[in-house]
Amino acid sequence: MRILSVKYLLHCVAAGMFCLALLPSCSSKKYLQEGDHLLTDVRVRSDSAHVNVSSLSGYVRQHPNQRWFSAVKVPLGIYLMSNPKSSSAFQKFIRRMGEAPVVYDSLLSMRSQQNIQDAMRNMGYLHARVDRVETIKGHKIKVKYLVHPGVRYYVDSIDTEFEDTSLIERVREIEHETLLRKGMAFDANVLNRERSRIMSHLQNCGYYKFNRDFINFVVDTLGSPRDVHLKMIIQKYRDNEHREPVSHPLYTIGTVRFTYDRANGNKLWIRENVLNNSHSLFEGELYREKNVADTYSRLNRMGAIAATNVHLAENADDSTVLDAQIKITPARLNSIQLSLDGTNTAGDLGAAVQLTYQNRNVFHGSELFSIKFRTAFEAIRNLHGYENQNFFEYNIEAGLTFPDFKFPFLSRAFRRRAQAFSELSIAFDSQNRPEFHRRVLTTSWKYRWGRGGGRHSHRVDLFDLNYVFMPWISETFYEKYIANPESRNAIIAYNYQNLFILRLGYKYKYSSVGVATPAGIYGKNAYTLSLNLETAGNLLDLICSMADTKRDSQNHHKLFNVAYAQYAKFDFDISKSICLSRRSSLAFHFGLGIAYPYGNSDILPYEKRYFSGGANSVRGWSVRELGPGKFIGTDGQIDFINQTGDLKLDMNVELRTHLFWKLDGALFIDAGNIWTLRDYKDQPGGQFNWSTCWEQIAVAYGLGLRLNFNYFILRFDGGMKAINPAFDDSERHYPLIHPNFKRDFTFHFAVGLPF
């Protein structure tokens, strides 16, 4: 009955969408004034195949109403459901959710025509022409911009003229990086980039007042039908005080001082030596624009500073000396945050409360001290044979972050360039389940730093120690899964004993758009790449070897009578977003991870094993429900640990589009699985094999809705299984052909985009 009601609801939604799609064709006329026309289609076409017309659509000033997935105008249909004469809150809300009819504006159309023509001429089609074709049918209008590019011009020769000869040497320093080449297609955009390139170099060589207006280009077609001669002229300095042009002045940095709000008796809250080590402006050095930008970056990343303003002024005694005044504004130094979260682990509902205290200037050097207290409760269902049916967790974590590279033997110059953070943390986690009690003590020392405006980021985990100990295991759990030789589970036996994990790790991440925003990217092409490497146990293995410790009955070395894990792990992840239109993009993702236990370990620790399924993986399965390989879980109480592996593959493609209001939509296809590298008897069918792995790749498809609030996204994804490698029979192996909604559908709720 429940499945029938869901199917009935889906049919109703589909019927409603169909009606909304038809609504614009029959109701938009009454929203138009006399003589108005509804703009239904805008296209840019060219009579030359060499012109990329898709790049010209950005110059169009007026577009028709948006279509969901380039198909139906649902937002317009929603708007037309409202009563424009009503000012009630409900009617206003309907109009905000929808999109008003786009009334054709001839002035905007003329500007679009001119913009496209100017763009074509800037790209070297100096005699390009654009015609505007309007097709009117009733109260609707379609507009087509037909581009006649004509002949494209190419650069035949390039000369440079220096009115200011003092700049010759500096410009020649970067001559090998020039964007101008003989034989290149003439492009005004390239000329502008060349201006910016030279300007940036000169501003970083002390020429504080040099700007792009001092670089001009003379373009001569020489009477040729397709060749141009370029002359770049670098002019002398001119300002209101000099009637005659002079050589560009060279500036140096004078005094540097910090100022702050002294109202109400405020004192300097950060040590002066910390501030002096956090800027890049030094007395006597040449002015460099990049040093000003670096000063902003360094100071703004300090948690104790809310805002920074660098003001440069000419010295009263020497106009070529720039005195720097750096004004800083204090941030809120102390904060307390209380959060309440709902949890859902494989259908078991619960709640968690977290209290966080932060001090952003604990030692008056913009150090961040934080301490977190967290407690969680979960009601566990379908667990039989145990006295208690609930899960309790208590966690305390303290951290200290320094805005510097705290490491001996590093030069001061390197510390300045690195812009690093050093992080010390210690945490204790207590978990009480009906089957066992588990305690985890963690301490770590890490470094992280970034370069290139947030595009490159690095993290080194120099020291990360985890001590896992099990103070109590229930007799039922112990006898069933650990002690009984017939049902003994090797993975559980290994992960439910005391264990040391001492690891060293490095992570690199690159983002082509710098610091990414949670809102995602619809308006530009971008990609991100990340690499992660880590090893564990090698140092402890060396200590045990030097101490000549004996191995136990399972051939494991122990330190303080506790075994330690030894493994190597590698993760690679890349995602790419391609802009399709102003409101749509196509996103791709590929992820690969492999971890190999060796030496003192035959099995990976549970925290380091991979799982598949869930909101960020193959969305036709719930988290830890897929794999490894073609493994099928038979014990719901321990499948959460059996459905993990040593190798993971994720492949995703997602069509994202803005729908209306704050609602975005997505169509997606996911594929992947996990495998084990060894043949474990408790995971039959889970071992990776080159000849059969392609048959064990699971595939899912689905639809997603996202509430996009710019600073965060609430995501709702519904995934359907398409290929299920766990089964051999055709109906269950290919649910795409034999769909069963109850069996194959999975709903996910998450925060943020999946990749």
Q: How far is it, in rounded angstroms, from Cα 476 to Cα 386?
A: 7
Share of the chain above pLDDT 70, in %: 89
Average pLDDT estimate for 210-237: 90
Supply the DSSP string of 45-59, one letter for each residue.
EES-TTS-GGGGGGG
- Tell me the pLDDT band of 455, cut-offs 50, 70 and 90: confident
Mean pLDDT check: name the lowest of 20-34, 440-454, 636-650: 20-34
The tokens describing 426, both together, are: 């210690």
Average pLDDT estimate for 355-361: 96
Which H/E stretch holds residue 459?
strand 456-473
pLDDT over 60 (residue 7): no
Find which of 261-270, 551-560, 623-632 is predicted with most confidence, using mean pLDDT: 623-632
Q: How far is it, in rounded angstroms, from Cα 292 to Cα 709?
A: 33
Q: For position 590, what pLDDT does the model report?
A: 97
Average pLDDT estimate for 750-754: 86
Average pLDDT estimate for 247-258: 96
pLDDT over 50 (residue 519): no
Nearest residue to 380 (alpha-carbon basis) of 436, 434, 430: 434
The tokens describing 563, both together, are: 């075994």
Q: How far is it, in rounded angstroms, from Cα 129 to Cα 113?
A: 9
Find where tokens 């490894």 sit.
628
Residues 386-391: contacts with CB under 8 Å, at least 24 apart: 386/434, 386/435, 386/474, 386/476, 386/477, 387/434, 387/474, 388/434, 389/434, 390/434, 391/348, 391/350, 391/431, 391/432, 391/433, 391/434
The tokens describing 420, both together, are: 């690093």
For residue 256, give the 3-state DSSP assignment. Answer: strand
Q: How many CA atoms lie within 13 A of 622 on its CB side?
A: 12
CB 569 within 8 A of CB 595: yes
Q: How far is it, in rounded angstroms, from Cα 500 to Cα 574?
A: 32
Query: Domains of the chain: which residue ranges?
Result: 2-148, 154-246, 252-330
Task: Check residue 516 and report its DSSP letter.
Answer: P
Q: How far is it, in rounded angstroms, from Cα 565 to Cα 494?
A: 10
pLDDT over 80 (residue 168): yes
CB 674 within 8 A of CB 647: yes
For 328, phi and psi rounded to 5 degrees?
-120, 145
pLDDT over 70 (residue 413): no
- Tell me the pLDDT band of 27, cut-offs 50, 70 and 90: low
Q: For position 365, what pLDDT does the model report?
A: 94
For 151, phi and psi rounded to 5 degrees?
-85, 135
| pLDDT tens digits for range 595-637 | 999 999 989 998 899 999 999 999 999 888 998 999 988 776 6
Nearest residue to 18 (alpha-carbon basis) of 68, 52, 60, 54: 68
Q: Tell me if the domain spanning 252-330 has CATH number 3.10.20.310.
A: yes
Can you give the C-alpha Rg of the chain in angstroms? Answer: 33
Q: For position 515, what pLDDT does the model report?
A: 47
2-148: CATH superfamily: membrane protein fhac (3.10.20.310)
Q: Where in 294-333 does DSSP place strands (E)?
A: 305-314, 321-330
CB 713 within 8 A of CB 753: yes
pLDDT over 60 (residue 504): yes
- Tell me the pLDDT band of 87, cut-offs 50, 70 and 90: confident
What pTM was estimated for this model as a whole? 0.81
Peptide bond into 485 cis (omega under 30): no
Tell me whether strands 558-559 and 663-675 are parallel, antiparallel or unpaired: unpaired
Q: Where in 380-419 does DSSP place strands (E)?
A: 390-402
More confident residue, 436 or 361: 361
Q: How far is it, in rounded angstroms, from Cα 318 to Cα 518?
A: 48
What is the crossing angle of helices 106-122 and 188-203, to 10°? 70
CB 651 within 8 A of CB 55: no
- Tell me the pLDDT band of 289, cut-offs 50, 70 and 90: very high
pLDDT over 50 (residue 363): yes
Mean pLDDT check: name the lowest of 370-379, 487-496, 505-514: 487-496
Task: Check residue 287 and report its DSSP letter.
Answer: P
CB 366 within 8 A of CB 304: yes
Q: Where in 195-320 does DSSP place strands (E)?
A: 215-220, 227-234, 237-239, 242-246, 252-260, 305-314
**Contacting residues for 395 by C-beta, under 8 A, at least 6 apart:** 372, 373, 374, 375, 376, 427, 428, 429, 430
- Tell me the pLDDT band of 6, cut-offs 50, 70 and 90: very low
Nearest residue to 724 (alpha-carbon basis) of 615, 612, 621: 621
**CA 477 to chain CA mean position, Å:** 42
- Tell me the pLDDT band of 517, cut-offs 50, 70 and 90: very low
Q: How many CA atoms lie within 13 A of 360 on its CB side?
A: 14
For residue 670, give the 3-state DSSP assignment. Answer: strand
**Burial of 175 (C-beta count, 10 Å sphere; 0-12/13-18/19+):** exposed
CB 398 within 8 A of CB 373: no
CB 392 within 8 A of CB 376: yes
Average pLDDT estimate for 83-94: 78
| pLDDT tens digits for range 414-439 | 666 667 899 999 999 999 988 889 99
Q: Give domain 154-246's CATH architecture.
A: Roll (3.10)
CA atoms 686, 691, 694, 696: torsion sign: negative
- Tell me the pLDDT band of 290, cut-offs 50, 70 and 90: very high
Q: For position 10, what pLDDT does the model report?
A: 46
Supply the DSSP string of 65-114, one letter for each residue.
---BTTTB-HHHHHHHTS-TT---HHHHHHHHHS----B--HHHHHHHHH
Q: How many CB atoms lie within 10 A of CB 261?
A: 10
